[in-house]
Amino acid sequence: MFEVRYTDLAARIGRLETPHGVVETPAFVPVVHPVRQTISPQFLKDMGFGLVITNAYITLKQYGDEARRRGIHDIIGFDGVVMTDSGGYQVLEYGSVEVEPATMAQFEKDIKSDIPIPLDKPTGYGLPYERAKEYVDITLENSKETLRVVGDTDAVWVGPVQGAEHFDLVEKSAMALDGMGFQFMALGSPVELMEAYEFATLARMIARAKKAVPSKPIHLFGAGHPLTIPVAIALGCDTFDSASYMLYAKDDRYMHPGGTVRLGELAYLPCQCAVCVSYTADELRALPKERRMLEVAKHNLHVLKAEVDATKQAIMDGRLWEYVMQKARAHPKLMEAVQLFASDEFGYLAEGTAAFKEKAIFFFDAIDQHRPEARRYRRLTSEFRSQKKTLMLFPEGEVHPFYSTRGFRELVKKFPGAQLATYNPFLGVIPAEISDVFPASHNVTARVERDSSNYPTFVESLKSFTANNNFDEIITVADAFMKQAMAEAKLNARVEDYSDHVIERL
């Protein structure tokens, strides 16, 4: 049903099989209104959106038995894969809907939805714990009733995970739905979190759901901002839906890779999609309102699809960490979220990160010490044991591996019998014997002045490496960073000042 082809961090490029074909994930899922859809579903299909989501509750109210007879694909005019929301959004907005969960489940089965969702009770954001728990329990009961009603089916039924900022409820919800046998999970209630720019809370919510169901595909409701897409994918979300492309267009909001901007603020259109090459900014603003809304919505769809494709390429290249960090710098609240990647709560990001990558990884600033490849290498060096009694530490150079350099050969002559190692602020101590192991042999580090107090992992690597080996003497060619780190680690060593010609001077 769900086959994973490539991974990086918790992101997955996969194949999701449904009754109406295969969907490649990660995928943005445009919301299609079953009655008043401005942009034709066929246009969406032609753009490359093979999966759309529509509202089964509105379809039931508007079409009733006609929808049962024709099927949802004919109703909305889309021959690709269709996901149906059973009315949870209306419940969130209005408190309830005039339909029972069993009736809604049977209707979604009757209209042949490929990826149907049971009628849930969204917790939203800011709900007191006891009320949120009540809503989670209602959703779980509705979901259990749904499976009883629909019985055997080819459709990919989705388990709606609720709980929002109450992370234990998120985990409870996900585990219960997994136990019921749902093939696909969907995280509810993120829209209000994103509207409040609570990206850190959203990240923790995703992480808790992934902890409960690490292998099953996960859908994220209401994620339609170009900045949130790479982060959501990196955290493990496989699909995400939104009507943002149209809602933003109605408000004259023009999407771009770094966010959105009011159309009235643009002197130029910084895009090369079919819309933007057809108009100047002034010409686009001058269009009649309905036509302008349509054109901006088409542009917004282009940006969303391009963002997904760029993220998928970053997965293929093994550069998703770099891409996410680049995107996070577009907004401080998003950077708050990615700073959480340093915590053990997000240790699961390492599971999908390759042990070796063909391309060198990049180290820029302090957050990069926590990327999975660096963590993995520091664990390796913590297990390294040397039989030598003298340790010679030298700053990492531009050439890798260390043992292939002229400097290494010179140090061997000057310090025969010593354990030679280089050091890197992100990787810690790098013994010469394993300096050819990824990523010690495959990294590019920005050469800037650093404060070791911002690199606790380096100080810990230095302390553990020296504590785990029985060196009688430690000699360190120390730059300013290393001198500060040695003081923090309380390392007793003979210090040689760093210079470009330090080997000759020694």
**Residue 91 pLDDT exceeds 60:** no
**Confidence grade of residue 125 (pLDDT, cut at 50, 70, 90):** confident
85 classed as catalytic: yes
> Which of 46, 74, 85, 251 is the catalytic position?
85
What are the chain's domains?
A: 2-342 (3.20.20.105), 361-505 (3.40.50.10630)
Q: Is 181 exposed, middle or buried (0-12, 13-18, 19+ CB in 10 A)?
A: exposed
Strand partners, 17: 22
φ/ψ of residue 127, rounded to 5: -80, 140
Our measurement of the distance from residue 204's CA atom to the centroid of its chain's CA atoms, rounded to an integer in Å, reads 12
pLDDT (tens digit, 9 = 90+) per residue, 271-310?
Answer: 999 999 999 999 999 999 999 999 999 999 999 999 999 9
* DSSP helix/strand/coil, 494: strand
User: Whole-angstrom Cα distance, residue 282 to residue 156?
Assistant: 46
Separation between Cα atoms, residue 87 and residue 151, nearest integer Å = 21
pLDDT digits (tens, 9 = 90+) for 321-346: 999 999 999 999 999 999 999 999 99
What is the reported pLDDT for 234?
97
CA 434-436-437 angle, to 5 degrees, is: 70
Distance of CA 300 to the CA centre of its chain: 21
Reported pTM: 0.92
**Three-state SS at 242:** strand
Determine the average pLDDT of the residues in 198-204: 92
DSSP 189: -
Q: CA torsion 132→133→136→141, rounded to 10°? A: -140
Helix (H, G, I), strand (E, B) or coil at 57: helix
Q: How far apart are CA 156 and CA 27, in angstroms?
A: 16
pLDDT at 501: 44
Does the pLDDT value for residue 22 go beyond 90?
Answer: yes
pLDDT at 95: 54
Task: Give the type of residue at 257.
Answer: P
Q: Give 353-402 pLDDT, tens digit per residue.
A: 999 999 999 999 999 999 999 999 999 999 999 999 999 999 998 889 98
Q: Which is higher by pLDDT, 505 or 130? A: 130
Across all residues in the chain, what is the average pLDDT? 92
Question: In Å, what is the CA distance from 505 to each residue of 262, 395, 403, 498?
Answer: 61, 15, 20, 10
Q: Per-residue pLDDT averaged across 262-270, rounded?
A: 95
Name 3's bridge partners.
Answer: 15
Identify the pLDDT of residue 496: 75
Interaxial angle between packed helices 480-489 and 456-467, expressed in degrees from 0 to 180 and rounded to the nearest 10 = 60
Q: Quote the tokens at residue 376.
A: 């993995």
Closest CA to 497 of 480, 482, 477, 481: 477
pLDDT tens sequence across 48-63:
999 999 999 999 999 9
Q: How far is CA 269 from the centre of its chain?
A: 28
Cβ–Cβ contacts within 10 Å for residue 467, how many? 12
Q: How would you classify the pairing of strands 473-478 and 494-497?
A: parallel
Distance CA 480, CA 214 (A): 43
Q: Per this entry, what is the length of the chain? A: 506
Token pair for 459 = 């100080």
The answer to whether 259 and 230 are in contact (CB under 8 A) is no
What pLDDT, on the 0 to 100 scale, is given for residue 498? 58
- Residue 255 Cα to chain centre, angstroms: 20
Mean pLDDT of 141-164: 94
C-beta separation of 59 from 111 below 8 A:
yes
Helix/strand/coil for 416:
coil
Using alpha carbons, select from 161, 168, 225 the residue that is nearest to residue 199: 225
CA dist 64 and 67 (Å) reads 6
221 vs 89 pLDDT, higher one: 221
**Confidence band of 406 (pLDDT split at 50, 70, 90):** confident
- Supply the pLDDT for residue 500: 47
Mean pLDDT on 176-192: 90
